[in-house]
Amino acid sequence: MSADYIAFTEAVYKKTGIDLTLYKESQMKRRLTSLRDKRGFISFSDYYKALRSDEQLFKEFLERMTINVSEFFRNRSRWDTLETRILPELVKQRGSLKMWSAACSTGEEPYSLSILLHLLQVKGSILATDLDESILNRARAGLYMEKSLKEVPPAQRDQFFTKDLAGWKISERIKKPVTFKKHNLLQDTYPAGLDLIVCRNVMIYFTEEAKIDIYNRFSDSLRTGGILFVGSTEQIFNPAKFGLESADTFFYRKS
C-alpha cells in the first residue's frame, strides 16, 4: 500500500469510523483512485483535504465506497426457501420474530422480508441498518424504479405498491414493521436475541479478517435456532467455526 493511501485510510477512519483497510484493498483502491482522478486530484492527501471541507464531495466519496445496488427478492429462489421453509420453521419456535437486515442499502431487502411476513401473517419487527445515512433516507422514502421490482409478482406489486410519476411507492403497512438505523458492521454494537439475520452482498467487499469477526458477532447475535441468511456468492465454508450449521443453501442455523 502506498504511504499516500495509508495516510488517507487513517484520516478517513478518524473522520468517519470507516476502516477502509478492512475492505479488499485492490478493489477499494481502484474505485477510489478512479473517483479521485475524475475530480482532478493527483494524490489522496489532496483529495482528503478537499473531502474535509466539501460536503458534496464527501457524499460522493461515501457513495462510491459503498456499493448500493439492490432489488426486491434478489436471487428469488432463496427468498422462496425463506418463505416456504425457514420462516415457517422459525414461527413454530416463536410467535413474534425479531429480525435484522444488515447492510440494507435502499431498503428492498427489509421490505421484501416485510412482504413475506405479511403474506404468511407472521408477526415481527425488522431492524434495517446501513453505513450510509443518505441511502437510509432513500430507503425510508420507499420509492423504487421498475427495474428493482422485476422479481415481484404483478399481483403483489399491485397489492403492496402504488405507482405514480416518480416510480413505485411501497405501502405503509409494509413499511410499518421496519425501522431504519445507521450502523457500521465493522464498528458498532450488534443487536441481541435475533431470530433471523439477513446480510447479503456486503461480505464480498471485506477482508478475511473482517469477515471472521463479523460472522462471530452475527453468531453471538442469534438466539439458538436462529438463522443467518447470506448472499448467493457468500457461502460460509466452515460454519461450525462460528457455532453455525447449514440449514439450506445460503442459510445457517445457530447451533
Which of 232-235's residues contact partners 24+ apart within 8 Å by CB, and which partners?
Answer: 232/75, 232/78, 232/200, 233/201, 233/204, 234/200, 234/201, 234/203, 234/204
Which one of 4-12, 64-72, 147-155, 235-243 is the stretch in contact with ligand SAM (CB under 6 A)? Answer: 64-72
* 66 near ligand SAM (CB under 6 A): yes
Under a CB-based contact definition with an 8 Å cutoff, are residues 83 and 77 in contact?
no
Name the minimum Å distance from CB 9 to ligand SAM. Answer: 14
Burial 70-108 (b: 16+ CB within 10 A, else e): bbbbbbeebbebbbeebbeebbeeeeebbbbbbbbbbbb
Under a CB-based contact definition with an 8 Å cutoff, are residues 153 and 117 in contact?
no
Q: Which is nearer to ligand SAM, 75 or 255 (CB)?
A: 75
Beta bridge partners of 100: 127, 197
Q: Which is nearer to ligand SAM, 96 or 216 (CB)?
A: 216
What is the C-alpha separation between 115 and 127, in angstroms, rounded? Answer: 15
Per CB under 6 A, the list member of 21, 43, 156, 184 interacting with ligand SAM is 184
**Strands 222-230 and 251-254, how do they pair?**
antiparallel
Name the minimum Å distance from CB 193 to ligand SAM. Answer: 20
* 74 near ligand SAM (CB under 6 A): yes
* 69 near ligand SAM (CB under 6 A): yes
* 194 near ligand SAM (CB under 6 A): no
Burial class (CB in 10 A: 0-12, 13-18, 19+), 248: middle
Q: Which three cell numbers stand for residue 95?
A: 410467535
Site string for ligand SAM, 129-168 (x = CB under 6 A): -xxx--x---------------------------------
Name the minimum Å distance from CB 243 to ligand SAM. Answer: 22
* 230 near ligand SAM (CB under 6 A): no
Per CB under 6 A, the list member of 186, 191, 243, 248 interacting with ligand SAM is 186
Which residue's CB atom is positioned nearest to ligand SAM? 66
Name the minimum Å distance from CB 208 to ligand SAM. Answer: 15
* 109 near ligand SAM (CB under 6 A): yes
Burial class (CB in 10 A: 0-12, 13-18, 19+), 195: buried
List contacts with ligand SAM (CB under 6 A).
66-70, 74, 103-105, 109, 130-132, 135, 183-186, 200-202, 231
